[in-house]
Amino acid sequence: MYVRWVVRRHKNATIANTTFHDAYLVESFRDEGGNPRQRTVCYLGNIRQIGEEFPPIERELFLLRAERILYSIDDLSETDCIEILDMLQEKVAPLSPGEVRAAFVENVRWYRRWLERGGNAPTETELLQIIKEAQGNLGPM
């Protein structure tokens, strides 16, 4: 199996320097006549490239969605999933520690502004429940 990338330009490429990269999981096989063929196993998602880079938040969301899709396919072993994720990460790099820290800081800022505008802070019990939910939703690593 391998990942096939389909790249599409923005409809108005003269205004927006944006391309869209669609990832498909594809397998090779031979038909009845022994001829090599490929078939699409599933669509793994798309990611937007602006200029020369994939924005950090879009990289993380793309890789999280692709991981969930891969682990939902019964015919794929965990080893297969890891190999395919490695293939995806050759094109779409996972977040660096600095990018994760910057995203966390921005989330805290967003949350602080929300509280200042009248949002209700969760109770200690609710915070513990949120942490439990987050730990349960990490998925395979």
CA 139 – CA 100 distance, rounded (Å): 18
- With cut-offs at 50, 70 and 90, classify the pLDDT of residue 127: confident
Specify the pLDDT at position 13: 64
Rounded average pLDDT over 13-18: 74
Rounded average pLDDT over 35-56: 93
| Percent with pLDDT over 70 in the chain | 94
> In the chain, what are the domain boundaries?
1-95, 96-141
| C-alpha 9 chain-centroid distance | 20
Specify the pLDDT at position 17: 83
Stretch (H or E) spanning 116: helix 97-116
Q: What token pair was written down for 66?
A: 């692709």
Specify the pLDDT at position 141: 46
Report whether pLDDT(11) > 80: no
**Total-model pTM:** 0.77
Q: What token pair was written down for 32?
A: 């009845």
